[in-house]
Structure 1
Amino acid sequence: LKTGAIDAAFCQERETFTYLAFQLIYDYNHGSKVTGYTPGAINIPGNINTGFIIVTQDNIDSFDSEYSLDQAIGHHELSQQLSLISSMIENVEELAVAADETGRIVYANAACLRFCGYTKDEMVGLNIKNLFDLTILQHSQIDQCLQEETAKNFESTAIRKDGSLFAVHISISPLRSEVAPRGYTLIASNISERKRSQKALIDSHVRFFMVLDSIDADIYVSDLETYEILLTNRHMRKSFGENLVGKTCYQVFRNESAPCAQCTNDKLLDSDGNPAGVCVWEGKNAITGKWYINYDRAVRWVDGRLVRLQIATDISRIKDLEKESLRIQAQLQQAQKMEAIGTLAGGIAHDFNNILSAVIGYTEIVLADVPEDTSQHRNLREVLKAGNRARELVKQILTFSRQTEQELKPVQINQVVGEALKLLRASLPTTVTIAQNIQSDSTVLADPTQIHQVIMNLCTNAAHALRSKGGHLEIELCDLSLGRSFTDLHPYLSPGAYIKLRVSDTGHGMEKAILDRIFDPFFTTKEPGEGTGMGLAVVTGIIKSHGGVVTVDSEIGKGSTFNIFLPVIQQDIELEVRTEAPIPTGNERILFIDDEKTLVDLGRQILQRLGYEVAVRTSSVEALELFMEQPDRFDLVITDMTMPNMTGDELAGKLMNIRADIPVILCTGYSERISKERAHELGIKEFILKPIVMRELAKTVRNVLDKNGT
């Protein structure tokens, strides 16, 4: 072998190869070319592990050149393939490492050197643990790879030369031979970017769920086809007290076994099956009992399927506020009605008092001329009593409309009950029987007219309930002591002695829905024209103003019972003296003014009967002119308040400007402009509310004249 050259592929350092082919070019006799090969493995660099056959001058004759040449050609082609694979390994971005059984690195590709910051000389000979931060479990997986000849995959951390780290995904495979594994290959992919993306995605999910959980609304996602709940936020879990994932929405929200008839799922997709926008609706949840406004829409879930996203906001408080607003509006309307009633009551009171003045006044005049032992006298007394009752009723109308002060005094309720029953018996049909059980003569602080009105109202309602079939009406009055068990239910009451007035009937009774509203103003079950709905509202208002309470019990088909509780006062009432004192008289000169001729004539007759010299006028302007002409002619002026051209208080002021010592009495049916206090501030000596009663007028006139020293 004079000269020879090993093919360049052979000269290059290689990993362990199974076969290696080469060519020797030599000058032998006629200079022919001979190929040699290795049938076993060879490690380059390193020792030759198996036979290496090379053709020399000594064995050239015994070498089967034809056979060996075919073998060599095949192995040469394999060498070319291995060279290609080697080139590929060197150019991939994955980290490729070969290590022996002890973990000593015998090979690392260019990517591994570049990523880890080592040179080839520095890398070869390092232990695998210097390059990767392997856990005990991962070391055991490498051992399994060598022992079981199976591939393993796991994630770990690569360590750069400078100590910095980056995430990798590792695949290890054994290097096999016919004898035993000689080591393993490790392919590591740099997954730092993927890890950053995963972390960003996780952070995004965390932020997303933090946002969901921070929203004060119930949020959930459910499958559009199966109705299965896939996700809920914290607020919803708190609202329903459990994790709802895996359950169906109709089971959770409706306690149903099938999809709800009112389900909005079909509204969330258009005809092509694509999301159709937001569906907004309100509803009350049967499970929580709360009102929600719901925003539903179809969205794509993470796996691509269409799901329903619902955001449900609790609007129960808003509903309560709406209800409260309606209640306040109703109260405002009620206040406006009451204001209108008050205005109407004032006008009615003025006109009605003028009418009653004539009725009462002329009745008193006639009554004075009729012998007491005649039926005419008795009848006129009843007319007068009715007139006075009407007079008190007008006062009550004004009190109810909050335009006059309530006058309370010690009253024995049994006497008021007796008077009411006397009137009631005359008006009830014979099919209604009345029974009374009066066991109390206690005293309460009350307005007798108002208590009379309460009794008449309750009894009239009871009679109305009995009008179709008849029945039994009973009134009971008794004393009792109320303890905490009762007064705690009515905070404005205090424990102590009370009188109980009970009015019961055997009528048709009332259902609970009616009982709940029975004391509401303008609420009535009567037909139009039969009632205003104000009766029981007035009753409860009066009793509350007296420091009491009204309760009601009723049963359909058995009747109703109203109970009134009023606090008792420890005070004896002096019995009224039936013998009336003589009516005071006089002979002074009086100017009487009223714009109604009937009342002017009445005033003249009453005052003349009392002995006074009277001049009358129906015009305040004419009265002023008369007074200006003869200011010393009169000892007293009595004037109406409401008159055209000049009101009574204006007239009084002008008269006192002319003559400062002239006493003035102001009369009014009703006026918002003037009150007793205001009249006194103006220098008016006395203030009288119509209707004018002879005895009261006589007493007032005499008192004013006497005080003025006339």
Structure 2
Amino acid sequence: MSNDNNDHSSLKLIIAPSGTINRVENGSAGTADQHVGQHLSRLFKISQNYGQKECEAWFRVITSRGDTPTALTQIGDENPAHLTLTLLLQTHPDFPGFRATITPIGEQSASNLAQPLSLAQFSQVIESSDVAIYTRGLDGCINQIIGSETVRPSLPTPLQSGQSVFDLYPPETLRNLLDNDARVVASGKPSAQEDVIPEAGGHRIFHSTKFPLYDADGALTGISGLTHEITEYSAGLHQLRLNQERVTRSLMESSFAVLVADLMTGEILAINRSFTARYGYTEEESLSRHPVAVGICGQPAYDQIVGQLNATGEITRGKFHFVCKNGNSLPVEMNAFVIKNGHNPLAVTLSQDQSRAEAAESRLQLIADAAFEGIVLHDHEKFLEVNQQACVIFGRSREEIIGASFWDLLPQQSLAAVRQVLDHPQPQSYEIHIVRPDGKERQLRIRSQDVSEGSQAYRIGVFQDITEEENLKVQLRRAQKMEVLGQLTGGIAHDFNNILASILGYSDLLKEALDDKEDERFRHWAEQIHSSGIRGRNLIRQMLSFSRGGGALPIPTSLSGAVEEVLQMLKVSLSENIVVGTELKPVPRVLIDPNQLQQILLNLCINAGHAIGEDHGAITISVDTQQVEQRHCASCHKEADGEYVAIRVSDTGHGIDPAIVNEIFEPFFSTKQMTDGSGMGLAVIHGIIHDCTGHILLDSTPGAGTSFTVLLPPEPPASSTPPESHRTDQSPLIVVVDDDQLISDMLYRVLVSHGYRTECYLDPEQALRAFTESGEQWSLLLTDQNMPGISGVELSKKVSAARPSLPIIIHTGYSATMDTEDARERGWILVEKPAEQRTLLDAIEKGLSAQL
């Protein structure tokens, strides 16, 4: 608004919160163009004391009051009588700013405003406030007092004109008043002081500003004072100071190392004794200096502390390193806060040496790392801390695990179990699978427990690698199945083998009795009887392979020779579309029953043929030595290490489904039709190989073929001392003890037909009595095991006790208490029923030749 605008109409404006005029609501178009866009303070030049910042302060006041109008009257600087304006500012209902109503005040109004107040008006103003004004002469007489009722009662009443302060106050108070008056008179300037006025039950405190009074000639005539009561304020201020002193004293005497510094400049203002004791810096070395210059901390740590205090106003349990005067670096835990102190905020830091805590934490970490279980600390998202065993189990370093999420380390199928645990805070135990970076799967059992640190919740997981434990459970279940099968088989094996022994024995006698002139049909029938007996015997042996080896007779065996024999059998067992190849390298012999070795090769090759099916394919049998390191047996799951003789059977078939890999060695498990197999093949192989302390490896890719590798230990070096042979001119006397009449008769005929003198006993007690009478004439004892009265083992023990050098053959269809190794340890020979005639005769010759 220009200076020539002298009308008394109001000008209405819309003002933005910044003070800029956005719109003129009345006045001419020229006026609007002139004012819009200008700042209110610049346009009207209201006062040099009311610039843009003051306008913005007005606006903040208006905003805080909402819709309540705020009025301001200010006389302008350039021409007070002409530019006095009244500003009425109120929030505009439709615009985010303010409405300003500008009303010029005429020259007369301005002059009226400049008129001094009358005494009555002035007294009215003072009486309505909490301030009192008085005047008195240099003689102490009170001339006039105007003041609120809160102040007046401090003076004696009734107050009479001409009374002196000497009449009003006691000497102590009077002395203080007169001293204050003297200072005002001496300086000739206003002076502010506190007056303490005693009264019954205490005192009252007044803040007074005293002025010298002069007459028209400039001569000092008296004193005027403006006073108001500050008793409560003074008491509150006193209490505040006491509290501050108390807090300051507590800080300075605290066991924490306290440092107070100017947050803006970094200047150290105070340290306590604990700070000096802990870090070695004295007040003389620290005060008025910067912490970095003193050497307490480096610039990066200082910047971090100041930055956090400026951002949040506090630091809680911050971790830093402070440097002692002797150069040692100490880990500290620090709390800090900011105290507002005018324009210079203060930073107060309280630090505590964490050396012992870190040492204790290090010891706890050593304890945790020594645990056999893996231990992890985690929240709902990631791993926060781990021990060494956890790193071993996960197959990762501590740096790889800490900070990683569950989704980074766990396979998808394990995440559901983890989510369920995180959603339920109570202690839980659960199992998950992980896949390590080396591709190995591990099964873990985890016990989980919620813990908290302050308001922060965590969870501790303690877990065990139960992979081996689960493998042992699988082995136990397999062993239990084999034990049941062995018990079932053992129940019938003895009787069945006795029957087969008779069939085989008499079929051999029949073949010997038929000469070349007899009808060929009879010879063929005898061969068929013998062949059927052999098949029955082999079936029982397969089943007995689950029960302590089933009576196998391991001998040093050439693998190459066994492969050549099997190749002849495979010509009629495999389809013509399958090519069988070999890769045979010179290897040491192995200790295994040759028949069982053939059985292993035949079963693996026939399975390979089934895997190839009607397609054209190839089977390769290879023999070589192999150094095995950290491979797990496919059937027993134990670790195989060392040097082995390896027989590998590989095919180009359809491979094995990974879902059934752990089941293929189970008894009666088969993927074939019921007419194509019994499901005993791989189960039998498992039993044979592990009886020979070997293992089997499996490598299979669905659609690309399968490879089974049988690992057998090489034959140990043979003894250089040959056994002494026993020779006698007289025909040896073989004593047969068997409760089965058919077996006894058959053995008698076989032995007699081969030139042996033979005695047979159906009752072992009768045989024992005969031994007592003429046992010195016996050359060899051939006894059954399972007999009524006493068993063959008990009979043999009694005979051996009386005559240790007598050769003994245990001829049994099945025995749960005797196997080949047990017999060998006792110096006996074990022959399994039904045995072919040649096998039995060889065992007899072996026993007689070893007799001393």
Normalising by structure 1, we get a TM-score of: 0.54
Residue aligned with 1:310, SS: strand
Q: Deviations over 1:633-666 (max 9, x none)?
A: 9887644232112223444677799999998765
CA contact (8 A) 1:649 1:679 kept: no
Corresponding position of 2:655: 509
CA contact (8 A) 1:641 1:667 kept: yes
CA contact (8 A) 1:358 1:599 kept: yes
Residues 376 and 631 of structure 1: is their aligned pair in 2 closer, same or farther, counting only changes over 3 Å? same
- Correspondence for 2:500 among 356, 359, 363: 356
- Correspondence for 1:596 among 740, 743, 747: 740
CA contact (8 A) 1:413 1:444 kept: no
Q: Deviations over 1:420-467 (max 9, x none)?
A: 643x55566xx7644334575967524321221112211332344356
- Distance, in Å, in 1 between the alignment partners of 2:664 and 2:411 is 37
CA contact (8 A) 2:450 2:460 kept: no
- Correspondence for 1:93 among 238, 251, 254: 238
Residue aligned with 2:611, SS: helix
- Distance, in Å, in 1 between the alignment partners of 2:701 and 2:765 is 65
CA contact (8 A) 2:449 2:461 kept: no
CA contact (8 A) 1:588 1:613 kept: yes
Q: Deviations over 1:122-144 (max 9, x none)?
A: xxxxxxx99xx997699xxxxxx
Unpaired runs of 5+ residues, structure 1, are 1-16, 97-108, 117-128, 139-153, 155-166, 174-190, 223-228, 269-276, 302-308, 572-583
Residue aligned with 2:469, SS: helix
Corresponding position of 1:9: none
- Distance, in Å, in 2 between the alignment partners of 1:609 and 1:622 is 25
- Distance, in Å, in 2 between the alignment partners of 1:253 and 1:704 is 65
- Distance, in Å, in 2 between the alignment partners of 1:251 and 1:627 is 79
Q: Does 1:310 align with 2:310?
A: no
Residue aligned with 2:748, SS: helix
CA contact (8 A) 2:428 2:448 kept: yes
Q: Does 1:619 align with 2:763?
A: yes
Q: Deviations over 1:526-568 (max 9, x none)?
A: 5789767553354466568779875555454565454668899
- Distance, in Å, in 2 between the alignment partners of 1:456 and 1:666 is 30
Residue aligned with 2:136, SS: strand
- Distance, in Å, in 1 between the alignment partners of 2:481 and 2:497 is 23
Residue aligned with 2:183, SS: coil
Q: How does 1:53-202 map to 2 (within 5 A)?
A: 53=213, 78-79=226-227, 81=228, 84-85=229-230, 88-89=233-234, 92-94=237-239
- Deviation for aligned residue 1:411: 2.5
Q: Does 1:647 align with 2:791?
A: yes
Residue aligned with 1:311, SS: strand
- Correspondence for 2:833 among 653, 670, 690: 690
Residues 645 and 462 of structure 1: is their aligned pair in 2 closer, same or farther, counting only changes over 3 Å? same
Corresponding position of 1:407: 554
Q: Does 1:371 align with 2:515?
A: yes
Corresponding position of 1:44: 183
- Distance, in Å, in 2 between the alignment partners of 1:477 and 1:384 is 31
Q: Does 1:451 align with 2:451?
A: no
- Distance, in Å, in 2 between the alignment partners of 1:639 and 1:541 is 27
- Correspondence for 2:135 among 18, 21, 30: 21
Bigger strand fraction: 2
Corresponding position of 1:146: none
CA contact (8 A) 2:619 2:652 kept: no
- Correspondence for 1:668 among 809, 812, 816: 812
- Correspondence for 1:333 among 472, 477, 494: 477
Residues 372 and 561 of structure 1: is their aligned pair in 2 closer, same or farther, counting only changes over 3 Å? farther
1:89 is matched by which residue type in structure 2? Answer: S
- Distance, in Å, in 1 between the alignment partners of 2:411 and 2:629 is 42
Give percent identity, aligned residues only. 23
Residue aligned with 2:458, SS: strand
1:371 is matched by which residue type in structure 2? Answer: D
- Distance, in Å, in 1 between the alignment partners of 2:630 and 2:423 is 54
Name whichever of 620-629 and 210-219 sits farther off: 210-219
1:458 is matched by which residue type in structure 2? Answer: L
Q: CA RMSD in A?
A: 6.9
- Distance, in Å, in 2 between the alignment partners of 1:292 and 1:538 is 37
- Distance, in Å, in 2 between the alignment partners of 1:502 and 1:218 is 49
Residues 135 and 19 of structure 1: is their aligned pair in 2 closer, same or farther, counting only changes over 3 Å? farther
- Correspondence for 1:218 among 339, 357, 377: 377
| Number of positions where the alignment pairs a residue of Structure 1 with one of Structure 2 | 541
Corresponding position of 1:609: 753
Residue aligned with 2:459, SS: strand
Residues 503 and 381 of structure 1: is their aligned pair in 2 closer, same or farther, counting only changes over 3 Å? farther
CA contact (8 A) 1:473 1:503 kept: no
- Distance, in Å, in 2 between the alignment partners of 1:675 and 1:563 is 27
CA contact (8 A) 1:219 1:310 kept: no
CA contact (8 A) 2:134 2:142 kept: no
Residues 487 and 393 of structure 1: is their aligned pair in 2 closer, same or farther, counting only changes over 3 Å? farther
Q: How does 1:258-657 map to 2 (within 5 A)?
A: 309-315=456-462, 317-318=463-464, 320-321=465-466, 323-344=467-488, 346-347=490-491, 349-372=493-516, 374=520, 376-377=522-523, 380-381=526-527, 383-384=529-530, 387=533, 401-403=547-549, 407-411=554-558, 413=560, 416-419=563-566, 421-422=568-569, 424=570, 433-437=577-581, 440=584, 445-446=589-590, 447=592, 448-465=594-611, 470-472=614-616, 474-477=618-621, 492=641, 494=643, 502-504=649-651, 506=653, 508-515=654-661, 518=664, 524-526=670-672, 535-536=681-682, 538-539=684-685, 542=688, 552=698, 554-557=700-703, 559-562=705-708, 592-610=736-754, 616-623=760-767, 638-651=782-795
- Distance, in Å, in 1 between the alignment partners of 2:505 and 2:846 is 20
CA contact (8 A) 1:412 1:441 kept: no
- Deviation for aligned residue 1:354: 1.8
- Distance, in Å, in 2 between the alignment partners of 1:547 and 1:168 is 77
Residue aligned with 1:93, SS: helix
1:409 is matched by which residue type in structure 2? Answer: P
CA contact (8 A) 2:664 2:670 kept: yes
- Distance, in Å, in 2 between the alignment partners of 1:266 and 1:698 is 73
- Deviation for aligned residue 1:384: 3.9
2:494 is matched by which residue type in structure 1? Answer: H
Corresponding position of 1:99: none
Residues 333 and 358 of structure 1: is their aligned pair in 2 closer, same or farther, counting only changes over 3 Å? same
- Distance, in Å, in 2 between the alignment partners of 1:362 and 1:34 is 163
- Deviation for aligned residue 1:619: 2.8
1:445 is matched by which residue type in structure 2? Answer: R
- Distance, in Å, in 2 between the alignment partners of 1:91 and 1:459 is 104
Corresponding position of 1:142: none
- Distance, in Å, in 2 between the alignment partners of 1:255 and 1:645 is 64
CA contact (8 A) 1:519 1:540 kept: yes
1:602 is matched by which residue type in structure 2? Answer: M
Q: Deviations over 1:573-605 (max 9, x none)?
A: xxxxxxxxxxx9987776643211221222333
Residues 463 and 21 of structure 1: is their aligned pair in 2 closer, same or farther, counting only changes over 3 Å? same
- Deviation for aligned residue 1:363: 0.9
Residues 313 and 539 of structure 1: is their aligned pair in 2 closer, same or farther, counting only changes over 3 Å? same
